[in-house]
Structure 1
Amino acid sequence: MEKIIASIITIGDELLIGQVIDTNSAFISQELNKIGVWVKRRVAVGDSREEIIRALNEESRDTNIIIITGGLGPTADDITKPVLCEYFGGKLVMNEEVRKHLVYLFEQVFRRPLIERNLKQAELPEVCTVLPNARGTAPGMWFEKDGKVFVSLPGVPHEMKGLITNEVLPRLQKTFSMPFIAHRTLLTAGIGESFIAETIKHWEEKLPEHLKLAYLPNYGMVRLRITGWSTDKAKLENELNTEFAQLKILVQEWLVTDEDHTLPMALSKLLRLKNKTMTTAESCTGGYIAHLITAIPGASNIYKGSIISYDNEIKIKELKVSPATLQKAGAVSEEVVKEMAAAVLMKMNTDYALAVSGIMGPDGGSPEKPVGTVWVAAGDRNKLVTQKFQFRFDRDRNIEMTATQALNLLRKFIVEHA
């Protein structure tokens, strides 16, 4: 069966200048993938007639589906609708169902006057199939041309998601005969992308043509994802399971989780399975580790709190770090992080603790302790392990790397000492 291929075009000057981050494409790609559509390209263009038309022409050459988001609002810079009307022919006409929906929204929900500018959102190309937007004012539009499907959606994420789920995906499944696409993903830590590739190269070379391995490195971690496609779902699932089992054996030494989870998610799941709790004492990361843990639903079951001892005075007062230790070893030292971890364990009354202290830059380093020097302590009331890191990046990435390595140190401690 032929692959069904899609492109995503996002429209808006705000995307090109970085004023707004494009999260729509990620959601659309994931949802299309679930029904067997392979996303080949994601393209961003500005609010320009010429650029929109050029993108439509280029993306429709070798894809079956083109999903467009943005530019459907009521203001002058929202030009997607008239450009699509020109591209597909025809003219704008008032859609009575959309008009009624707008009247309802403004009178019953928004409780403000419906002005002419808003009413114009009910004017739609006569050659499109209207996709009702239950979550907002701008409807979606479905066009077909030369065997290709074009779908235009509002850029507001909440509205776009509703249209994708309720209108677009069901229509696509009726229009195309889809192959089945499936993934298997694992996460590794403590090994570089190139070294992994060398380790598993013989296995990778023998993968069937319809299975593809992707390397996804990020902040000291590498995700490995096997993707396969087939018309036979059961056969594909069996093949993926077999290959994934072999891959896990090859990377067992560095394996964090065999699910498509982040490191904080993997650590949180481990704690929940063991019915244990943790706490943090953070200096150089300023609460960032706490943020990563508490961003996960259900964090209250495994995480009690943190002491952000950014200043030495707080280390002394709240974590009982000895002034003599600070004087002799300095705040960025093995001795200090061990005292921080031991104290926060008792203060928060948890099973495990994590403590970090370091120099994130760009200033504050010395020949003995240059920027990027970090000490981490992790453990329980019986034992604490420590590790020194020397990062070489800018401030933001040093903080990210510190959090990643600290969380992984605690994860390994729990696995090895539980």
Structure 2
Amino acid sequence: MQEIRAYIITIGDEILYGQIVDTNAQWMSALLDESGIKTIRRLTIGDDKSEILSAFDEAEKDSDLVLITGGLGPTPDDLTKPCLAEYFNDKLEMREEALNDLSELFKRLDRELSPLNEKQAELPTRAKYLKNDMGTAPGIWMESKKNTVFVSMPGVPYEMKFLMKERVLPEVKKRFMPTSIVHRRINTVGIGESWLHEIIGEKEKALPSHIRLAYLPSPGIVKLRFTGKGEDKPKLIEEVNKTVDEFKPLIEKYIYGYDDEKLEEAIGRVLKFKGKTIATAESCTGGKLAHKITSVPGSSEYFLGSVVSYSNDVKINVLGVKKETIEKEGAVSEDTVKQMAVGARKLLKTDIAISTSGIAGPGGGSKEKPVGTIWLGYADDNQVVAKKINLGKDRAMNIEYTTIAALNLLKKHIM
């Protein structure tokens, strides 16, 4: 087995101009990773002949596999096929097999095959034809003198995905023998990347050379990805799982799940297991907390409802927050979020309620309560608690982080 290095090239002015988001490269990288192939670079370029040829030259120097998407249409601005032909000192010819498949497709669609559409069946003479069952532009497989494989596919995502899964990846696995790659993740919440490193840093140094640890931070959450590489996949899986088990006791109180499990999924799993129901009372998060919880399939078993009490009147008249509390301590205060949680629990008849109130920004802050001042509340049969957090001045980030912090508060009390 050997390490296979892949280079992904996305072609299209519309992507450079921000008119279309390139989801293809991310999807391909993930699929390659699952197959033991390392993506070393992803490059986006416009519909420019010199840039395309330069990208081909650069990719061939560094990689074993070059995956290209875009530029395979029949119009003059679609340059990928002519550039491939020029780069390989080849020429385009009408490929009978491709033309027959194209004719059959247009017949099924009850459409006329125009001369412009027929150009889709033109391929470099030395290219291997990859039939595209999902569209009109075929895939193209070519190999350079340096044994680098070039594969060109349409930019339409569902066409590219079909070709990758059904045509390209099986051929790549025949052509190469990729090294096995195994990933496991420990998902943590409520602790920063640097603090995690302080706890597990010494153990990380003792990892064997074929197993590596990466820290993957996002707002409020840090995922620890353990990656093992080797030839014996069953043995590698066993080694990586054992490594994860050795790290778990060091950071157990911060762990909410593993691999692809989201925080809201882990919480839902526990709520279902314990037979508990929950409601939310939200001010600064504006319903995002409820949205996170209900994004999990089956959440209707434990989530009963939410009150988005953005105004003080709703806090007072719907949730039962005391008017004097608002007047004396303000909407962003410990007592307010406690009363919001108690009120939501009573109103919606749930076992648990979570509340949020804060100054998300960019305006509305004061010297006593600057932008980013957030209070979280929690109530169940036995306790009513509140927690204050201090964030920054970015509104979107504050809302996102508050949502994660509220879920973490819930996690601490139910897990």
- Provide TM-score, normalisation by structure 2: 0.92
1:367 and 1:116 map into 2 onto residues whose CA distance is 71
Aligned to 2:175: 175
Output the amino acid matched with 1:137. Answer: T
Aligned to 1:120: 119
3-state SS of paired residue (1:407): helix
Output the amino acid matched with 1:220. Answer: G
Give how far 1:269 is off. Answer: 2.8
1:29 and 1:369 map into 2 onto residues whose CA distance is 45
Give how far 1:364 is off. Answer: 0.6
Aligned to 1:132: 131
3-state SS of paired residue (1:284): coil
Aligned to 1:337: 337
1:171-250 maps to which residues of 2 (within 5 A)? 171-250=171-250
Aligned to 1:251: 251
1:122 and 1:61 map into 2 onto residues whose CA distance is 29
Q: 1:386 to 1:114 in 2, by over 3 A?
A: farther
Aligned to 1:87: 87
2:335 and 2:287 map into 1 onto residues whose CA distance is 21
Aligned to 2:73: 73
1:226-305 maps to which residues of 2 (within 5 A)? 226-305=226-305
1:69 and 1:268 map into 2 onto residues whose CA distance is 39
Output the amino acid matched with 1:300. Answer: S
Give how far 1:191 is off. Answer: 1.9
Q: 1:70 to 1:379 in 2, by over 3 A?
A: farther
2:153 and 2:108 map into 1 onto residues whose CA distance is 24
2:125 and 2:291 map into 1 onto residues whose CA distance is 49
2:108 and 2:350 map into 1 onto residues whose CA distance is 51
Output the amino acid matched with 1:259. Answer: D
1:379 and 1:100 map into 2 onto residues whose CA distance is 68
2:178 and 2:399 map into 1 onto residues whose CA distance is 44
8 Å CA contact 1:89–1:127 kept in 2: the answer is no
Q: How many residues align?
A: 414
Q: 1:104 to 1:248 in 2, by over 3 A?
A: same
8 Å CA contact 2:187–2:257 kept in 1: the answer is yes
Give how far 1:362 is off. Answer: 0.8
Give how far 1:282 is off. Answer: 1.7
Once the two structures are aligned, what percentage of the paired residues are identical? 48
1:86-105 maps to which residues of 2 (within 5 A)? 86-105=86-105
Aligned to 2:350: 350
3-state SS of paired residue (1:296): coil
Aligned to 2:389: 389
1:282 and 1:142 map into 2 onto residues whose CA distance is 54
Q: 1:193 to 1:102 in 2, by over 3 A?
A: same
Output the amino acid matched with 2:46. Answer: G
8 Å CA contact 1:374–1:388 kept in 2: the answer is yes
Which string of whole-angstrom CA distances, capped at 9 and with x for unpartnered residues, describes residues 25-69 of structure 1?
221112112221122222222222222222222122122111112
Q: 1:276 to 1:216 in 2, by over 3 A?
A: same
Structure 1: state its 5+ residue gaps: none
Give how far 1:371 is off. Answer: 0.4
2:292 and 2:101 map into 1 onto residues whose CA distance is 41
Aligned to 2:142: 143
Output the amino acid matched with 1:3. Answer: E
Aligned to 1:3: 3
Output the amino acid matched with 1:127. Answer: R
1:365 and 1:184 map into 2 onto residues whose CA distance is 42
Aligned to 1:324: 324
2:208 and 2:58 map into 1 onto residues whose CA distance is 31
1:305 and 1:114 map into 2 onto residues whose CA distance is 55
1:299 and 1:123 map into 2 onto residues whose CA distance is 52
Give how far 1:288 is off. Answer: 1.8
Give how far 1:100 is off. Answer: 4.4
Q: 1:339 to 1:234 in 2, by over 3 A?
A: same
Which string of whole-angstrom CA distances, capped at 9 and with x for unpartnered residues, describes residues 103-127 of structure 1?
4555544x65554443432322232
Aligned to 1:360: 360
Give how far 1:398 is off. Answer: 0.9
1:103 and 1:323 map into 2 onto residues whose CA distance is 74
Give how far 1:260 is off. Answer: 3.1
Q: 1:388 to 1:118 in 2, by over 3 A?
A: farther
Q: 1:125 to 1:169 in 2, by over 3 A?
A: same
Output the amino acid matched with 1:130. Answer: Y
1:351 and 1:158 map into 2 onto residues whose CA distance is 44
Q: 1:365 to 1:166 in 2, by over 3 A?
A: same
3-state SS of paired residue (1:385): strand
8 Å CA contact 1:379–1:413 kept in 2: the answer is no
1:13 and 1:265 map into 2 onto residues whose CA distance is 39
3-state SS of paired residue (1:130): strand
1:18 and 1:320 map into 2 onto residues whose CA distance is 48
Give how far 1:181 is off. Answer: 0.7
Output the amino acid matched with 1:32. Answer: L
Aligned to 1:43: 43
Aligned to 1:309: 309
8 Å CA contact 1:379–1:410 kept in 2: the answer is no
Q: 1:127 to 1:330 in 2, by over 3 A?
A: same
Aligned to 1:59: 59
8 Å CA contact 1:342–1:381 kept in 2: the answer is no
Q: 1:299 to 1:59 in 2, by over 3 A?
A: farther
Aligned to 1:15: 15
With 33-42 and 88-97 compared, the bigger mean Cα shift is at 88-97
